[in-house]
Amino acid sequence: MSVLKNDLLLRTLRGEKTERTPVWMMRQAGRYLPEYRVLREKYGFFERCQTPELACEITIQPVDIVGVDAAILFSDILVVPQAMGLEVQLIESKGPVLPDPIKTSNDLTRVRVPDVQETLGYVFDAIKLIKQELNDRVPLIGFAGAPWTLLCYMVQGKGSKTFDEAKAFCYTQPELAHQLLQMITDTTIAYLKAQVAAGADTVQIFDSWGGLLSKDDFENISLKYIRQIVAALKDEVPVIIFAKGAWYALEEMAATGAAGLGIDWCITPQMARQFAGTNVTLQGNFDPAKLLSPIPVIEREVKQMLKAFGPSHHVANLGHGILPNIPVDHAKAFVNTVKEYSHQ
């Protein structure tokens, strides 16, 4: 087995003290990069996901261009509903559309727990190629959506501010909802295990819509299933949970055995540490919109963030995905400030 030249992220996730804070950015392989936009012009979204050479090139772009300490697989959380049998359309300017969403028990017969090698083999091929091309420069992060967030799209059929139809599905047909959540969970465990087998060094679970739920609902509809996923993976690789907005469950999320917890900018590092306890690594939490500030403001605010988190148990990141209109120089200023300032 080969040895990573830069394993800052993995050591930080294991709770070790490191010479500086590792840094990466959610959606770092994305539209703010001109090099990505060139490929986006030429190939459709799923073509980019399903062609290992393209996924590999896109995944590695921010490592080369911005100098982040980890690569994250270029893919989308909705490849899982797709593998489970639902049609998913991804028109990037419009957001995702699932033309035949799940509304009834009859709809559920269209969904299956698939053989992930058969349906998602292209992801594992991409991971193998990325690992080869990365050549041990930095670790590779695999990922999947949390079952609740995937249910949101599978039931609502499209993006939403409130996902009220997805919630109503859970409130009015709880047995059906739990059956679907368990199917997503089983698929996700197999999917993430195969990502690890293919070479992913760590995995992140994205619960983008966790923060729409009350604390009780989050436990019942979301965390119950995330817990199963963490339990199945954590002895193989460090697992990061990012449940955006679900600050109220940091304590419970830390208790799952996750190595890292992502937080957004609406909670202070001090509060997050208080809720999450001392053992878990926190990841975040720069406001992505703040990368539109002048570079000196970015530098000042990044330093403040690093000071607030302290020198260990912290992975520097944004509190959500980088926005498409961020100048590349501003992204570099974010990354470089973390590298330089946390080293001191």
Active site residue 100: no
| Residues in contact with a copy of itself, shown as a per-residue x/- string from 191 to 210 under the rule CB under 8 A | --------------------
Q: Across the chain, which distance is largest between two alpha carbons, in Å? A: 60
Separate counts of helices (H) and strands (E) for the chain: 16, 9
Could you tell me the smallest distance in angstroms from the CB atom of residue 8 to a copy of itself?
25
Active site residue 115: no
Of the candidates 4, 113, 255, 289, which one interacts with a copy of itself according to CB under 8 A?
289
144 CB contacts (<8 Å, ≥6 apart)? 77, 80, 188, 191, 192, 195, 203, 205, 206, 229
Segment lying near a copy of itself (by CB under 8 A), choices 13-21, 54-62, 144-152, 293-301: 293-301
Of the candidates 39, 54, 323, 328, which one interacts with a copy of itself according to CB under 8 A?
323
Smaller CB distance to a copy of itself: residue 211 or 310? 211
Residue of 76, 107, 125, 217 with catalytic role: 76
161 binds a copy of itself (CB under 8 A): yes
Could you tell me the smallest distance in angstroms from the CB atom of residue 210 to a copy of itself?
10
| Residues in contact with a copy of itself, shown as a per-residue x/- string from 244 to 273 under the rule CB under 8 A | -xxxx----------------xxxx--x--
E strand or H helix that includes residue 225: helix 224-233
Residue of 7, 11, 20, 27 with catalytic role: 27
E strand or H helix that includes residue 298: helix 295-309
Of the candidates 11, 193, 290, 313, which one interacts with a copy of itself according to CB under 8 A?
290
295 binds a copy of itself (CB under 8 A): no
Active site residue 40: yes
215 binds a copy of itself (CB under 8 A): yes
Let me know the angle formed at the C-alpha of 258 by 180 and 64, rounded to the nearest 5 degrees: 100
Instruction: Give the whole-angstrom CA distance, residue 335 versus residue 33.
Output: 15
Q: Measured on CA atoms in the order 293, 298, 300, 304, is the torsion positive or negative? A: positive
Instruction: Give the whole-angstrom CA distance, residue 35 versus residue 260.
Output: 30
SS3 content of the chain, % helix, strand, coil (to 5): 55, 10, 35
Amino acid at position 210, single letter: G
Instruction: Name the residues that contact a copy of itself, by CB under 8 A.
Output: 161-164, 167-168, 171-172, 211-215, 217, 245-248, 265-268, 271, 287-290, 292-294, 297, 323, 325
Active-site residues, by number, are 27, 31, 40, 76, 153
